[in-house]
Amino acid sequence: MDVRRILTINYKLNVMGLVAGLFLIYIAISDKPWWILVGGSIKEHVFSAELSPFMTMITVLGRPVHLPIITYLNMGVRLSFLVAAATTILGSIFVKRSWSKKFISLAGLKTPIAFLILLFVCLEIVKIHFGIMIPIIGRSTLTHKIFLTSEEITVHIPMTAKITQEYWTALIIGIPSLIAKLIHPSEKSSSI
């Protein structure tokens, strides 16, 4: 039994590509974080960071930290994901066109992997430059000296970091795009 023939309905429609395209849209419009860092207790946060390629939310002492460039970068990633979804769907529908395979995007698989690598690099930079060790997953204690009413005080802040279920969902969702690319009929097979 030819799996490729089945998954492309006899080389007429790349089903996995279509699924991957719809999943890409779902990921792009989701506002849930992929990685969360919380400093302080469970009830009250001294600081928190919620990150994904599509959203960034950082708060320190209950106040948001706003970095305009991040907002526009998140917006850019979201739009390019939607474009990738559109090209993937187009490529999956027009299977017999010579250009269709090039339209199947692997963004759904590459982005979660790149996100984790970039996060690791950023945390290493923070460790080297500021001496603050932030784990990707797990618990740690941040010891920091601050000035309060002209006195130097030492704070010990417990930190908890985790990769959210949304991240793993995004990673798993990226697999259909790889399958879609692999099974996409070449010109030769589609002309049979």
Partner 1 sequence: MDVDRLAKLLASILLFAAFIAPIIYGLNEHGWNISSLVIPRYTPPKMGITLQPRSPKISDKVIFLRFQASNTGEIEISILSFNGTVRVSDGGQLGSLNLVQEILLPPGASEDLTLTLKPSDQALADLISRLMQEKQVEITVDGEMYVKLLGIIVEVPVSRSFEIGMEGLESWMFAEY
Query: Which residues form the interface with partner 1 (CB under 8 A)?
Result: 39-46, 60-69, 71-73, 75-77, 79-80, 82-84, 87, 97-99, 102-103, 148-149, 151-158
Q: Write down the least CB distance from residue 36 to partner 1, Å.
A: 16
**Whole-number Å distance between alpha carbons of 12 and 4:** 11
* Residue 126 and residue 134 in contact, taking contact as beta carbons nearer than 8 Å: yes
**Judged by CB, which is closer to partner 1: 45, or 181?**
45
**Judged by CB, which is closer to partner 1: 39, or 112?**
39
**Judged by CB, which is closer to partner 1: 5, or 94?**
94
Q: Write down the least CB distance from residue 75 to partner 1, Å.
A: 4
Q: Write down the least CB distance from residue 98 to partner 1, Å.
A: 5
* Residue 92 and residue 158 in contact, taking contact as beta carbons nearer than 8 Å: no
**Judged by CB, which is closer to partner 1: 72, or 168?**
72
**Whole-number Å distance between alpha carbons of 27 and 19:** 12
The angle at the Cα of 131, spanning 142 to 168, to the nearest 5 degrees, equals 65
Q: Which long-range contacts (CB under 8 A, 24 or more apart) does 51-58 make?
A: 51/119, 52/115, 52/166, 52/167, 53/77, 53/78, 53/81, 53/111, 53/115, 54/27, 54/28, 54/30, 54/78, 54/81, 55/31, 57/33
Q: Write down the least CB distance from residue 3 to partner 1, Å.
A: 25
**Judged by CB, which is closer to partner 1: 75, or 133?**
75
Q: Write down the least CB distance from residue 52 to partner 1, Å.
A: 16
**Judged by CB, which is closer to partner 1: 10, or 41?**
41
Burial class for 14, CB neighbours closer than 10 Å (0-12, 13-18, 19+): buried
Q: Write down the least CB distance from residue 84 to partner 1, Å.
A: 7
Q: Which of 164, 172, 159 is nearest to 32 (CA)?
A: 164
